[in-house]
A and B are shown apart, each in its own frame.
Chain A
Amino acid sequence: MSDYPDIPVLSTRRLVLRGPEAGDYPDFKATFASYRSRFMGGPLNSYEAWMLYAAEIGHWAIRGFGMWMIHDKATDETLGMAGGWFPAKWPEREIAWIIWPEKSGKGYALEATHAVRRHFYERQGWQGAVSYIDPKNLDSIRLAERLGCTRDPEAATIDGSDAVYRHPAPPVAASGQIRDGIELEINHYCDPLFKPKGMPID
């Protein structure tokens, strides 16, 4: 498309979000071949994983937004993906995320999705968003709640098997109640107030 959009680079305290590149594919494939991807339509065979990755890239050209690759700012290694996802059949624009299994538990998804949502709300004029989450995906439900989302039982689902979590509207997401809470939590991941000297022995 002659009108391919530029994919902006988003920078946060620990992360850099860039458009997905061919060289990042092996990390994506590893996660989508694994049990980790069971709530995102996986596990996928190599053909399916490649096609999904290519679709995530092409989504940018069609919609003007899409999924970013999350990189560690210091090492540049990839940690997962986050961004906007709105293929055909999706009732509403979704904010989506996936973190590679070995990179979980460090607040990367929170930091990335917080930045992504701010970008969509403040630079692209989104008035809201949802996240479609498998009801068994407790980690993602917890993350949605930390982002200030609430379950919207009235909203249309993708195929009936997913729960719809509605993100707070821009003014609410920008309020201290939500934003300061998220940033406090991210700060705590960056600089833990309590650093245990060792693991307890049970």
Chain B
Amino acid sequence: MSLTPAPVLDAPRLILRGPERRDIAPMIAFLLDRERAWGFGASPDRGEAWRWFALNVGHWHIHGYGYFTIEMKGTGEAAGITGIWNPEGWPEPELGWVVFDGFEGRGIAHEAAARARQWAYEDLGFTTLTSNIKPGNMRSIALAERLGCWFEREYDNIHMGTDLLYRHPGPDAALDRDDDGSVEAYA
């Protein structure tokens, strides 16, 4: 038996691929950075951060989806993670994104998350997606809105506590499938 691997997705400036051993160090550095990882869920120590890396691989195996590593074309650097997350206890599958230190302000999260969403809709057959955002995480809320999401409700997340659930536009709207030029496509 072998574990379910992630596909490799191509975006203009980025490659989305499955987690690999070389991503362990940047991922752990991110998870231990309380300030940066606050909205994602920081790890209290190295052991827990390592475990998160492992469980993402397991998430891929169990669900056939999980967090991709965002790799910069050209340099091959790991710039962050994005993907679909749905552990037990989650309200529904969510599209998540994280950009590592030094990679913000370049639209990397937007490009990566949009590509992951396209994959979820086109390849996995999802009909809807959410993003769960901690109240006060203004950068993520701004990105969610750029992705066309709207605030749906506040709820109590089993792991994160009070959380905001944003709803993504469905496959047709997100992928511009209904682009016959008629008015309703832009309504």
Identify the A interface with B (CB < 8 A).
1-7, 9, 18-19, 21-22, 25, 29, 45-47, 49-62, 87-89
**B118 to chain A: which residues have CB within 8 Å?**
none
Instruction: Give 28 A-B contacts (CB < 8 Å), ordered by A residue.
Output: A1-B5, A1-B19, A1-B20, A2-B18, A3-B20, A3-B21, A5-B2, A21-B1, A22-B61, A25-B62, A45-B89, A49-B88, A50-B88, A51-B87, A53-B62, A54-B54, A54-B59, A54-B61, A55-B55, A56-B54, A58-B53, A58-B59, A60-B3, A61-B54, A87-B47, A87-B50, A88-B51, A89-B50
Question: Size class of B's contact patch?
Answer: 20 to 34
User: Apart from A19-B3, A45-B158, A53-B62, what 10 extra A-B contacts exist at CB < 8 Å?
Assistant: A1-B3, A1-B18, A54-B54, A54-B57, A55-B54, A57-B58, A57-B61, A58-B59, A62-B53, A87-B51
Q: Is B49 an interface residue (CB 8 A)?
A: yes
- Answer whether A58 and B58 are a contact pair too, CB < 8 Å, given A89-B46, A89-B50: yes
- Answer whether A56 and B58 are a contact pair too, CB < 8 Å, given A2-B20, A46-B89, A47-B87: yes
Contact A19 B1 (CB under 8 A): yes
**B128 to chain A: which residues have CB within 8 Å?**
none
* Closest A residue by C-beta to B60: A58
Interface centre among A29, A53, A57, A87, by most chain B C-beta atoms within 10 angstroms, is A57
Q: Is B24 an interface residue (CB 8 A)?
A: yes
Question: Which of B1, B19, B159 lies in contact with A7, CB distance below 8 A?
Answer: B1
Contact A55 B88 (CB under 8 A): no
* Closest A residue by C-beta to B59: A54
Interface centre among A45, A46, A50, A56, by most chain B C-beta atoms within 10 angstroms, is A50
Q: How far is the CB of A149 from chain B (nearest CB, A)?
A: 24
**B3 to chain A: which residues have CB within 8 Å?**
1, 4, 7, 19, 57-58, 60-61
